[in-house]
Chains A and B, each alone.
Chain A
Amino acid sequence: MSKVWKYGDDVNTDMLFPGKYTYSCSTAEQILPHLLEDLDPGFATGVRPGDFLLAGKNFGCGSSREQPALGLKAAGIEAVVAKSYARIFYRAAVNQGLLLIECPKAVRAYKEGDEVRLDAAAGTITVGGQSFSFPSLPEAILAIRDAGGLLPYARAKLRGRA
């Protein structure tokens, strides 16, 4: 069973990845040991591919640094499920191909020990047996996701033009 990492409201980018490492760590290998360092020191060593991260409102507020999104994607987080997201983080996640689900009901329904399962194609998330649907993403964003992130998407476009 995949593990669920649950946090509160207003989890900011410094809690997700301390600003003091912004210029020394930019690759996945450098980012991973410091991921959520000041929020949850057990996260970096405990996280496994397929885990979920649940959070309250305004997840990812603060700086424009992309290490949180890049790091969570590289750690294999299946999806972040939050009540809402801060906008720069939302874009960063789209650009990295990290799945963000905005579903306050699912977050509220979660109790310690509940299993979380995702059916991305059907747009549903199941929390402890209760199923919630989340809205599908706009086409422009899906196209970026399908290409594997913004850079691969742009490269394909540039090659198409050339």
Chain B
Amino acid sequence: MGKTFAEKILARKSGRNEVRPGEIVTVRPDRLLSHDNTAAIVAKIAADLTEFGPARKDMHVVVLDHVVPAATEKDAENHKAIRQYVQRYGVENFFDVGVGVCHQVMVEKGLALPGELIVGSDSHTCMYGALGVFATGIDRTEAATLILTGETWLKVPESIRIDLSGGLSPGVTAKDLILSIIGRLGADGANYQCVEFHGAAGLSIDERLTVANMGIEMGAKAAVFEVDSRTVEYLDSIGVVRDGNEPVWADSDAEYSRRLEFDLPTLGPLVAKPHTVDNVVSVEEVEGTPIDQCVLGTCTNGRESDFELAASILKGKQIASGTRLLLLPASREILRRAIASGAIDALLAAGGTLLPTGCGPCLGAHQGVLAAGERCLSTSNRNFKGRMGCAKAEIFLASPATVAASAIHGRISDPRKISPFSPP
């Protein structure tokens, strides 16, 4: 019997010949990520750090992104404490305010490589699965323990195999694909499971990142793609030298708890209605719903191709009065490229507001917090009640194309009905 991706990689990382689903193994992750929560993590082990020191200096990656630049004195103190920790313990990979959202930084700095095991004290750590990484979220206590010991426990998950076929239609994006998968499986449909995507050769790396990013929204422990020529091309483009880096992939006769197929050409634009991500409907069903705020960006859909898609829709047009459009690039590198390509200028000319690279309004801490009764249409990954600040606000999730089209009308709109997807 063949093995799944998860069985192979967890055997490798626990130094065993083979592991089976349900077994608990001790693993040494290649990297540990934490962000603005780093201060709270290291505060748990202040005395232990003095006594034992960190297990490995190259393991911990720290990125300041969640409330950047600091919104309050408290945030500033938090950032300061993190900089002191990084200095004192010689953390090699530290990215200060403005470099980008942690997950995008991990990927574009070459800190998440095929065949690696990465844990992060953030649930969307699963995004690096796009590059064939077994990546999963953990809590702060576990992150603190990892800093000291360099190892942790994992239960070997069962796996779900999703086969993709065909290509996406114009105006339909990877965001619509993952929303359709989550809508079909449900918010816990992949709980404790590793989700393998097969047949994804037609998806770009940006598209795979969007899909893997949202694996956790169906409960997945990890969401992974096969390493192929596109992955290698991407790694080359960011200057990664892959000496000794060995990708892992499932055997064709591996055993799955469930198998599903998705036919890409049949998909249309989708929207996740408040207040759960699996509350997915076709754009037609919510067309015309008035929107106060549009958010384009975040670690889910804040890459260059997302801004270019939105710019292709908004170029030469204006967003509706009474609607605000917030632009939130996932990293400084992306922002620079989107400036160079003219995408940012087109979006600003259309009435967009550019926010600093980081998490911004996504978690409701600052920059674009919603008022009671307001409605937001966002390309981010969560529409939970209170997520963007106010529990009496509503968050709808959609693709960059749907958000751009909706910004023009101030109402949820079908991107296929407007140029460049239909003649003006």
Please name the residue on chain B nearest to A61 by beta carbon: B187
Instruction: Give which listed residue, B40, B121, B142, B387, contacts A14 with CB less than 8 A.
Output: B387
Q: Given A19-B386, A26-B40, A91-B139, are A61 and B219 also a contact pair (CB < 8 Å)?
A: yes
**Min CB distance, A36 to chain B, in Å?**
12
Q: Is the CB of B148 within 8 A of A154?
A: yes
Complex CA–CA separation, A3 to B212 (angstroms):
41
**Min CB distance, B38 to chain A, in Å?**
11
Please name the residue on chain B nearest to A15 by beta carbon: B385
**Min CB distance, A7 to chain B, in Å?**
13
**Min CB distance, A104 to chain B, in Å?**
13
Instruction: Give which listed residue, B45, B141, B385, contacts A38 with CB less than 8 A.
Output: B385
Q: Given A58-B188, A86-B191, A140-B153, are A26 and B24 also a contact pair (CB < 8 Å)?
A: no
Closest 3 CB pairs of A and B: A58-B188, A66-B139, A92-B139
A-contact 0/1 string along B16-42, CB 8 Å cutoff: 000000001000000000001100100
Count class of interface residues, chain A? 35 or more
Q: List, sorted by A's number, 5 A–B pairs whose CB atoms are closer than 8 Å.
A: A20-B363, A20-B364, A61-B188, A66-B139, A88-B216
**Min CB distance, A59 to chain B, in Å?**
9
Complex CA–CA separation, A66 to B121 (angstroms):
9
For the complex with contacts A15-B385, A84-B191, A162-B52, 17 further pairs of A-B residues with Cβ separation under 8 Å are A10-B187, A19-B364, A19-B386, A20-B369, A23-B74, A26-B43, A58-B188, A66-B141, A69-B139, A88-B123, A88-B139, A95-B141, A138-B155, A144-B153, A151-B144, A154-B145, A155-B148
Please name the residue on chain A nearest to B122 by beta carbon: A64
For residue A157, which residues in chain B have a CB less than 8 angstroms away from its CB?
149
B-contact 0/1 string along A92-136, CB 8 Å cutoff: 100110000000000000000000000000000000000000000
Please name the residue on chain A nearest to B221 by beta carbon: A87
Complex CA–CA separation, A74 to B391 (angstroms):
25
**Min CB distance, B389 to chain A, in Å?**
6
B-binding residues in A (CB < 8 A):
10, 12, 14-15, 18-20, 22-24, 26, 38, 57-58, 61-66, 69-70, 84-88, 91-92, 95-96, 138, 140-141, 144, 149-151, 153-155, 157-158, 162
**Min CB distance, A89 to chain B, in Å?**
8
Q: Given A18-B386, A20-B364, A23-B365, are A64 and B188 also a contact pair (CB < 8 Å)?
A: no
Q: Given A10-B276, A84-B191, A140-B24, are A23 and B385 also a contact pair (CB < 8 Å)?
A: no
Please name the residue on chain B nearest to A14 by beta carbon: B384
For residue B37, which residues in chain A have a CB less than 8 angstroms away from its CB?
22-23
Q: Is the CB of A62 within 8 A of B382?
A: yes
For residue A153, which residues in chain B have a CB less than 8 angstroms away from its CB?
145
For residue B384, which residues in chain A have a CB less than 8 angstroms away from its CB?
12, 14-15, 62
